[in-house]
Every structure is written in C-alpha cells, then in structure tokens.
C-alpha cells in the first residue's frame, strides 16, 4: 500500500482509468452498408476481401483493426535485399500488388517514443509499456492519424498483433470511410509496424535516434530494413535471447530511407536512425543499438550492441545508452533528446521497486506522454501496454486515457 501511494504521489495523477472493450460498436452509417473499397493495384479476390474487412474500432476513424489473411511473403521480401524504406515498399508493391502503381511508392516513418518493461506488482505477469510519439503536420497544421491494429498468422510463423501509423502509408483519420481513397497500400501493413507482440509473449518497439542510419554490409547476409526486422522477430522469435541471436547472426540491418548514408557535412536534422526495445514472457528485456566500431571515420553506425540484465535497461527514450556514442563529434547527435521522459521513467521505476500493476503502468505512460509541439517527436499517438504473460494489449489513443481498448493474440 505504501509503495502504491508513493507511485501515485510521484505521478500527481488523480484520474481513474476506465476500461472499455475493443469490441465497441462503430456508429458510422458507412459501416452498415459499405460500398466495395477502391484498390487500384489489387485484383485478387482474397486480397480484396481482406481490404474490405477492415473494422472501425473507435467509430471516429482514428483506430482500425484488420485481420491480414493473405501471404505477405516475408522470405521473398528478405531475399530481395531491399535498400532503405523506399526500396522495401517498392518491393512490396512488386510482390504483393497485382499490378504495379504508375508512380514509385514513397512512405514515411518516424518514432519519438518512450518504453519500459517491468514485472506486474503482484509478481504474476510481465508488462511492456510503450508510447508512440510522432507529430505529422504540414503548412496547414497538425494532421490527425489513423492507428491500425494488424493481426497476422503466417503459415510458418507465430501469430501476432502489431500497430501501424496509417499516416505513414498515406492514410489519415477517417480514410476508410472517405470515398475514392485507394486502399492498395494496406497490402504493406505487416511491414509498417511500430510495436507488437506475438503468441509466445515476445514484444518489440522501435524508437528514433538522431544519428546517421545504420547500413551493415557483412558478406553473405541478407539486407533487411527497420520494420522488416521487427516483422521477422515477431514471426520467428519466442524470447529476447532468440531475437538477439537472429539479428546478430543472420542479417544486415539497413535503417535508411533510400539505402544511402548522409555525408558527414549533412545537417544533423537530416540524420535519423533507430534502436529497439524488447521484452518477453520470461521477464527478460533488452535494448538493441547500432553504434560505431571505434574507428575515426564515422562512416555510419553499423556495430550491433545489446544491453540487458540490469534495471538501468528497463526504460528507454530517444538517445543512446551505449557509452561508445559519447565520443561522437558535438552536434551530430542529439544525445539528450527525451531526457526528461527518461528521467521520469527512471525515477518512477526506482521508487516503485521496478514493479507496477497494469493501472500504474498506464498511468506512467500517461505521465510521459506528449502534446503536439514544434518538435517532430512530440504528440503521443498511442500508448501500448503489453501483458507479455497473457499475450494481450491495452491501448489508449491520442492521450485519451479514460477509454482503453483491449486486444489479444488469438
């Protein structure tokens, strides 16, 4: 009781979390008599049936759910050795569309974010919390997104659920009910994930860093992108240990947009790469980063490092935890970005003995959430709380912590 009191005092939160079922009925009239969706590049009946089965979960076009029931050809995607994010999605068009689009496919990707992993306060379950923070805007102002919950069940892999920012694929709030929107890009959903959990309780999320992209080039290994790596791990890994072994031993990672590394003279704001936070149902957790190999050239960060087994690695935001990155030239990486959120996670978890129940964990996600500002890593689009023991997700969208949606790997 004393520990819980300290937690609530620390967060200064007085609100009570109200749990809502993910099976909330959609009130949109279009949900009752929907015309077939337009998909200019899709003719296959099974793919069209899947595209036409998308559910509007919150009734406002901000949260959708889809059961991805066709083959997304992971092995073939990996074999293509795609260069960068744009290379990946043009390969997806080649492999998953029935006819190629007239113009090259371009997508967006970004992830501010905070993440942590703890045992549940009663010592029964293991939890992983993750905020996805990224502000989409243009000259007209802030652009609201559509979050998409994607269910996958590959023939030779593990079932999982994952979350996609629809805006990265060109789909904003209410896109599915908007007439004449081309739904072809929904075929790329398995490769647009930002966090997720599989049937064995392995969970992963990606967080942004201000640094040159990783482009590994070890001979004899296939080249995979940021999101392909997450899809691979959700499909194949049961534990953090297995995930690290897969990344370390079998693949070259490419976190770039176009397969190129910016020059050393490029402005720091043009640098972006990522690190991963992962946890599993055994209670294991880890941070995976890609750093420099110690040479003076700093071509790009391509040395994989992982950090686990210490409470200091239970939480993460948007700067490196690796000591090797402290020697980077000043101004080339934002080494303290997200420090305020990081310290909130650090101090809160320390004072609670690195244990939280589910309500407390969601309150912590609330406390490190962000309103939209000029910072591109602001605006919490969703807060994911994964129960790794029962393979479930409790989800809040757009900082609406009074309404929570519940999903489970099935």
Cα angle value 34/39/45 (rounded, 5°): 80
pLDDT of residue 378: 78
**Residue 330 pLDDT:** 44
The CA distance from 358 to 388, in Å, is 12
**Coil/strand/helix, residue 247:** helix
> Which has more pLDDT, 378 or 255?
255
pLDDT of residue 404 exceeding 80: yes
Residue in the structure block whose two tokens are 């320390």: 350
> Are 99 and 41 a contacting pair, CB within 8 Å?
yes
The answer to whether the beta carbons of residues 387 and 46 sit under 8 Å apart is no
Burial class (CB in 10 A: 0-12, 13-18, 19+), 283: middle
Identify the CA nearest to 83 among candidates 257, 303, 262.
Answer: 257
Residue 405 host element (H or E): strand 405-408
Q: Quick one: pLDDT band at residue 260, thresholds 50, 70, 90?
A: confident
- Give yes or no for a contact between 143 and 62, defined as CB atoms under 8 angstroms apart: no
Query: Is the C-alpha dihedral spanning 181, 185, 187, 193 positive or negative?
Result: negative
Given pLDDT bands bounded at 50, 70 and 90, which one contains residue 4?
very low
d(CA 356, CA 128): 10
Which two structure tokens, joined as six digits, stand for 302? 């391509």
Output the pLDDT for position 300. Answer: 85
Q: How far is CA 7 from the centre of its chain?
A: 27
pLDDT given at position 295? 61
Q: How many of the other CB atoms lie within 10 Å of CB of 258?
A: 12
Residues 260, 365: Cα–Cα separation, whole Å: 35
Per-residue pLDDT band at 264 (split at 50, 70, 90): low
Q: Which fold has domain 2-17+74-144+200-404?
A: Penicillin V Acylase; Chain A (3.60.60)
Q: What percent of the chain has pLDDT over 90?
A: 68
Residue 205, pLDDT score: 97
List beta partners, residue 115: 130, 316
Residue 326 above 80 pLDDT? no
Q: What are phi and psi of 390, to 5 degrees?
A: -110, 15
The sign one gets for the Cα dihedral 334, 335, 336, 337 is positive
Bridge partners (DSSP) of residue 215 are 254
- Contact indicator for 252, 289 with CB cutoff of 8 Å: no
Whether the Cβ atoms of residue 92 and residue 187 lie closer than 8 Å to each other: yes
Greater pLDDT, 77 or 14: 77
Packing angle, helices 84-96 and 226-236, rounded to 10: 60
Work out whether strand 147-152 and strand 63-68 pair parallel, antiparallel, or are unpaired. Answer: parallel
Predicted pLDDT at 47: 98
CA–CA dist 234, 203 (Å, integer): 7
CA distance 401 to 382: 10
Residue 9 has pLDDT above 50, yes or no: no
Beta bridge partners of 264: none
Residue 136 or residue 364, greater confidence: 364
How many residues does this entry show for the chain? Answer: 410
């Amino acid at each position: 009781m004393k520990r819980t009191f300290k937690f609530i005092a620390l967060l200064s939160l007085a609100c009570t979390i109200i749990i809502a079922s993910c099976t909330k009925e959609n009130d949109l009239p279009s949900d009752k008599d929907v015309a077939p969706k337009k998909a200019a590049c899709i003719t296959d009946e099974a793919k069209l049936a899947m595209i036409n089965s998308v559910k509007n979960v919150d009734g406002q076009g901000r949260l959708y759910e889809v059961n991805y029931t066709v083959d997304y050809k992971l092995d073939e995607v990996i074999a293509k050795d795609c260069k960068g994010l744009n290379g990946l999605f043009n390969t997806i068009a080649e492999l998953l569309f029935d006819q190629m689009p007239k113009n090259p496919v371009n997508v967006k990707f970004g992830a501010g974010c905070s993440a942590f992993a703890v045992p549940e306060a009663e010592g029964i379950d293991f939890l992983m919390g993750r905020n996805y923070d990224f502000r989409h805007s243009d000259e007209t102002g802030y652009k609201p997104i559509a979050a998409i919950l994607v269910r996958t069940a590959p023939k030779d892999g593990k079932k999982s659920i994952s979350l996609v920012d629809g805006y990265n694929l060109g789909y904003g709030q209410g896109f599915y009910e908007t007439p004449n929107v081309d739904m072809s890009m929904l075929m790329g959903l398995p490769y647009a994930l930002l966090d997720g959990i599989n049937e064995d309780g392995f969970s992963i999320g990606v967080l942004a860093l201000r640094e040159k992209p990783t482009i590994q080039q070890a001979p004899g290994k296939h080249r995979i992108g940021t999101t392909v790596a997450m899809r691979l791990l959700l499909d194949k890994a049961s534990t953090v240990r297995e995930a690290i072994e897969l990344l370390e031993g079998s693949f070259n990672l490419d976190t770039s947009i176009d397969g190129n590394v910016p020059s050393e003279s490029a402005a720091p704001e043009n640098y972006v790469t990522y690190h991963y936070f992962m946890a599993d149902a055994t209670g294991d957790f880890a941070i995976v980063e890609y750093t420099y190999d110690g040479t003076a050239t700093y071509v790009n960060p391509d040395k994989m490092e992982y950090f686990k087994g210490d409470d200091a690695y239970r939480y993460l935001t948007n700067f490196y935890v690796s000591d090797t990155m402290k020697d980077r030239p000043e101004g080339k990486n934002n080494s303290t970005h997200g420090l305020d959120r990081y310290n909130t996670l650090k101090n809160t978890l320390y004072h609670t003995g690195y244990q939280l129940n589910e309500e407390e964990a969601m309150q912590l996600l609330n406390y490190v959430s962000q309103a939209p500002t000029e910072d591109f890593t602001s605006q919490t689009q969703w807060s994911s709380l994964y129960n790794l023991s029962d393979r479930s997700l409790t989800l809040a969208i757009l900082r609406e912590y009074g309404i929570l949606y519940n999903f489970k790997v099935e």
